[in-house]
Amino acid sequence: MCGLCGIFGTDDHWSAAGFETRASADPVLRRRDRTARIAVVNRMLARRRIQLSDWQGQSYILRNLTGRQAIVSNVTEVWAALEAEFGGGFDPLDPANFPEALPEPGAQS
């Protein structure tokens, strides 16, 4: 299947739900939330030198320093693509994978 097929779908996966309930109807808020998700995932992946980027607001591209890349439809597919395309497992719930990605419990923002 051609990789372009991914850009014609909609961003209706549960992982794309906005931080605010009105975000799903507002394209500006959806884009802001998407950018925030990408930033958090990139902080988690920084030690592996792999980067996630937006592709047409519909899909994501995972890239490493050697140029290897994988296109994924949503954030939940990132973890499987990391294992399949870049080798090694990645547990997104392991605190060691995001020491700086999320605030400490009880921290003020």
Residue 68, CA distances (Å) to 2, 5, 9, 52, 87 in order: 17, 20, 24, 12, 12
Q: Identify the DSSP state of 103.
A: P
C-alpha 9/C-alpha 58 separation (Å) is 7
Q: How much is the pLDDT for 63?
A: 95
Q: How much is the pLDDT for 102?
A: 53
Q: What average pLDDT does the segment 8-37 reach? A: 65
Could you read off the pLDDT of 49-104 as tens digits, one per residue? Answer: 999 999 988 899 999 999 999 999 988 889 889 888 888 777 877 877 766 645 55
In DSSP terms, which residues pair with 41 in a beta bridge?
none
- Angle CA(88)–CA(90)–CA(94) in degrees, nearest 5? 140
- Residues with Cβ < 8 Å from 42, sequence gap 6 or more? 51, 52
Q: How much is the pLDDT for 6?
A: 46
Phi first, then psi, for residue 62 (nearest 5°) are -95, 130
Number of C-beta neighbours around residue 70 at 10 A:
20
Looking at per-residue confidence, does 3 or 41 come out higher? 41
Which spans in 8-89 are helix H?
A: 27-45, 76-86
